[in-house]
Structure 1
Amino acid sequence: MERCELEFWSAKAYRDYKFNQVAVRVRSLIFLLCCLWISAGAQDHVYSQFYNAPLYLNPALTGQFEGDFRMNMIYRNQWSGLSGDLSYLSASADLNIPHFGGGVGLQFTRSSEGIAYLRKNNIAATYSYSVGGDDFVTSFGIHAGFTNRHIDLDKLVFADQIDASTGFIPGSSTSAQLPDISNRFYFDAGTGVNMVFRNFMAGASIYHINKPDESFTEVQSKLPMRIVGYASLKVSLLSQYSYYEDDGMYVIPSVVYYQQGASQAFSVGAQLKYRSVNMGLWYRTSAQNTPDALVVSFIFDIFKNGKNGEKLRLGISHDATTSKINYTNTSGSTEASVGYEKYFPGSSSYNKFNGLRCYDFY
């Protein structure tokens, strides 16, 4: 009798264990989908190192640097503690062409979200035109490109494909109605303006001004415009100061505002910059204006002022999640960036820049 009871309870315990395993997986899936829903409320991703993705921040920053040629790349791995993929990449190259009145650039952006690998790939051209003098420069920019949105429907698992005791049923199919298509292409456009006055910089940009339709079904789903506004102030910590100099010690407070649809978010912080080293601390709110993350960042400029004005910039930052999903669940988010700029050999612009450049604020 005791042996039978033991076998019965062992079998029951095993079934409970298997059921709990399935329940944990389902809860994890639901949790991830909730997280994706939260992030989808803002639609576009946000970089903590916004200053190292200049063309993603504002097309008016195209060509706004000291040199003839610049490249930037930034990668973000978001909430690495969760299952599924939440990663983002932006890469850009732009030219500063004084005789052209500004600059031209090319940008590629890629995002991958969720267990079904919802991906977006965008390639766009940017152009900026600048006016001003020694102490004041205003730049106007435009952004135009194409986006491909793709989802891998085969990676989705539905309730009728899960058994309570064994989990996912291999080879099973679902009766759920799937989207008609898994690829979507659309034109995307944006514009922006940036102003630098001595030790103060401010700007604003609008992306998706044509509100493209992202839907995979016959039900229309317009992508809301992404509106960005920002301001930075460069404050010297030394008694002798010129806003044209870049080798002193500065504190640079900044604020960035994001709005997309009904979602709003802020990023507020400051950087301590000394010669080729930059350390930053930031506080960011989420799309619902609730606490989102504390961010620590470091930037290092390598072989600055080298041959042909070459400069290599390396950046690293980490977000400590402060929202309700907390750091324990997410393990935070990490970003890495690299930037490179130089003058072309024999450039007529070498050492003739007027000193007003956006990079002074980072």
Structure 2
Amino acid sequence: GGGVGLQFTRSSEGIAYLRKNNIAATYSYSVGGDDFVTSFGIQAGFTNRNIDLDKLVFADQIDASTGFIPGSSSSAQLPDISNRFYFDAGTGVNMVFRNFMAGASIYHINKPDESFTGVQSKLPMRIVGYASLKISLLSQYSYYEDDGMYVIPSVVYYQQGASQAFSAGAQLKYRSVNMGLWYRTSAQNTPDALVVSFIFDIFKNGKNGEKLRLGISHDATTSKINYTNTSGSTEASVGYEKYFPGSSSYNKFNGLRCYDFY
């Protein structure tokens, strides 16, 4: 069976409001049966990256004793452009066998140029690998059902350019509520952050996989750049999923296999 998706993401960083907006379409195709499924996916879309140049602060606007000089201007040469569009693409594979899931994905396969200055600055490919195990907390359990109570330990590995990171954690899932706690290391394998996540299904139709879900997570920095200085970072998401009859002849293909783990 196959599936399609549409994703929109937006991020904002720093006082200069470096913003990134991305819209991407996804197509996946699954093979297998009720016990084992392998899914292959491709993603393609466009990204807009922009920055407010007027809010940048340079060295000649800072006094060594008092800090930023109000009303000052800089002699620094500003970038030629503050707005950039580029195409971005990725691919991945996901495998589920009963209560075990593993997969890998590659983002930014085409290494798009993000530069504002005209000097080429390619975005390195990002490689992600992960594995999860769903453990029932109830004595009466069937992996075909999704309404029990579970602990789901997971590990995730990230690599982008010379940077690497590793996350490990667990989620507690009960029906339409999912709570998670994660630990993340930096590229130097030193503690980087604790992550708390919550996922809520506003409604869910178990027979056809239709659901509207809200998610929120917060990263609390534990590295030398401490939480007092950064206040961490917060992410929020809204997702809608629906199964279309006839897209698969298998019961567990109905938009539910990966959802069992989240």
Give TM-score scaled by structure 2 length.
0.86
CA positional deviation for 1:347? 10
Structure 2 unmatched runs, 5+: none
| Residues 174-183 or 162-171, more deviating | 162-171
How many angstroms apart in 1 are the aligned matches of 2:209 and 2:107?
32
- Asked if structure 1 preserves the Cα contact closer than 8 Å seen for 2:209 and 2:254, the reply is no
Tell me the residue number matched to 1:340. Answer: 240
Give distance in 1, aligned partners of 2:242 and 2:20: 31
Deviation at 1:111, TM superposition (A): 1.9
Distance 2:72 2:180 in 1: 50
Contact kept? 1:106, 1:124, Cα under 8 Å: yes
Give the conservation status (yes or no) of the 8 Å contact 2:242–2:255: no
Identical aligned residues as a percent: 98
Equivalence for 1:202 = 102
Decide which of 170, 184, 204 is 1:304's aligned counterpart: 204
Is the CA contact (8 Å cut-off) linking 1:134 and 1:354 kept in structure 2? no
The 1:176–1:131 alpha-carbon spacing in structure 2 relative to 1, beyond 3 Å, is: same
1:47-91 CA deviation, whole Å, 9 max, x = no partner?
Answer: xxxxxxxxxxxxxxxxxxxxxxxxxxxxxxxxxxxxxxxxxxxxx
Distance 1:162 1:260 in 2: 33
Task: Tell me the distance in 2 between the aligned counterparts of 1:156 and 1:226.
Answer: 28
**Secondary structure of 1:160's aligned partner:** helix
Which residue is 1:250 aligned to?
150
CA distance in 2, matches of 1:173, 1:355: 55
3-state DSSP of counterpart to 2:111: coil
Q: Distance in 2 between matches of 1:291 and 1:137?
A: 35
Q: How many residues align?
A: 262
Q: Which structure 1 segments of 5+ residues have no match?
A: 1-100
Larger relative contact order (Cα-Cα within 8 Å, sequence gap ≥ 6):
1
Calculate the aligned-residue CA RMSD, in Å.
Answer: 3.0
Which structure features the higher share of strand residues? 2
User: Which structure has greater helix proportion?
Assistant: 1
Q: Quote how far apart the aligned CAs of 1:281 are.
A: 1.7
Question: Match for residue 136 of structure 2?
Answer: 236
Shift of residue 231 of structure 1? 0.8
Query: SS at the partner of 1:360?
Result: helix
Report the TM-score when normalising by structure 1: 0.64
Rg bigger for which structure?
Answer: 1
CA–CA distance in 2 between the matches of 1:109 and 1:298?
18
Query: Residues of 1 paired with 2:30 and 2:164: CA distance?
Result: 30
Change (3 A) 1:345 1:212: closer
In 1, the alpha carbon distance for the partners of 2:242 and 2:21 equals 28
Post-superposition offset of 1:223: 0.7
Once the 2 structures are TM-superposed, how far is the Cα of residue 145 of structure 1 from its aligned partner?
1.6
Contact 1:308 1:350 in 2 (8 A): no
The change in CA–CA distance for 1:346 and 1:224 in structure 2 (over 3 A counts) is: closer
Q: Report if the CA contact (8 A) 2:2-2:247 is conserved.
A: no
Cα distance, 1:105 vs structure 2 = 1.8
